[in-house]
Amino acid sequence: MSSRNQSSSLHKFKEILFSTMSSEELLNSLDSFSAREDDVFLVSYPKSGTHWFAKVIENIPNADITLTSPIELGDISKLEELKTYCKRRIIPTHLNYNMLPMDIKQKQCKIIYIIRNPKDTAVSLFHYYRDNPNLPGVETWAAFLELFLRGNVVYGSWFDHVLSWESHKNDKNILFIFYEEMKKDSSKSIKKITSFLDINVSDNEINQIAWKSSFREMKNNAAKENCDPNKTICVLTSNKNLVFRKGAVGDWINYFTSEQKRVFDELFTEKMKHSELARHFEDYS
């Protein structure tokens, strides 16, 4: 067995597993968070590209924004800390829709929800579990996949997470964006983001953002910036070298056996049968 056990690094809150880096006291107090009309929330299930998209937003010229650490990272003092930012706040989170603080919904703050193929997400989260001392140890891919399919991983079931957000797909203040589309045509996705945030950028600036936010550039910079705890976008580690692994689309094929794929696809079909977003993944399955 691994030396890192489940109970010491995770705790359950409202039936969902959280890292102990998110204190129960903070999770309990999220509804007292005071949102601002111009806040932007960058939301995803873990390992879906939050760092990448945060970097894109940070690279928008003249945006006059501050990227904060995740709303659910830390203890009760987080809510006070968030008040200290003067610029427009970009706040990352992995919370499902139901757990999002009430004031964000009432003020209809802008929200960018990033979605990634669940098979690639599962593989990425598996490596994260293996390499991250803040998460439970996991011995094998097969054992981890079982946990993932049951939703016994940090932030719960991928299916439930996506569906909780998809039920708000027609809300004008939410932009849904796919990891795979960003990989295929980053300029097009960046254009979507900047127009959603009402920030004017030229085509030349969009190309600059795309270059600065390329996976290779980010991975290189991660090594340089690794010691800055103020640049923590991940709720599960401040070590940037753990965050950028491959960033590949379709890497799952190197991990799933045909039987695992069959079990996964069956569950996907059952859980996502009414989902429009799920159709996007037909090309990647």
What are the structure tokens assigned to 19, written together? 């890292």
Reported residue count of the chain is 285
Contact (CB, 8 A) for 131 and 18: no
CA 148 to chain centroid? 16
Contact (CB, 8 A) for 56 and 193: yes
What are the structure tokens assigned to 243, written together? 């965050």
Name the residue with tokens 């027609």.
Answer: 170
State how far the alpha carbon of 24 is from the alpha carbons of 132, 167, 246, 285, in Å: 21, 27, 32, 37
DSSP string, 132-157: -TTS-----HHHHHHHHHHT-SBT--
Task: Find, among 109, 145, 105, 110, the residue nearest to 125 by Cα.
Answer: 145
Q: Which of 51, 94, 127, 161 is catalytic?
A: 94
Phi, psi of 281 (to 5 degrees): -85, 0
Task: Find, among 74, 75, 83, 73, the residue nearest to 103 by Cα.
Answer: 83
Name the residue with tokens 């799952």.
Answer: 252
Residue 94 annotated as catalytic? yes
Task: Find, among 60, 279, 274, 61, the residue nearest to 180 by Cα.
Answer: 279
What are the structure tokens assigned to 185, written together? 């045509």
> Which residues are marked as active site?
94
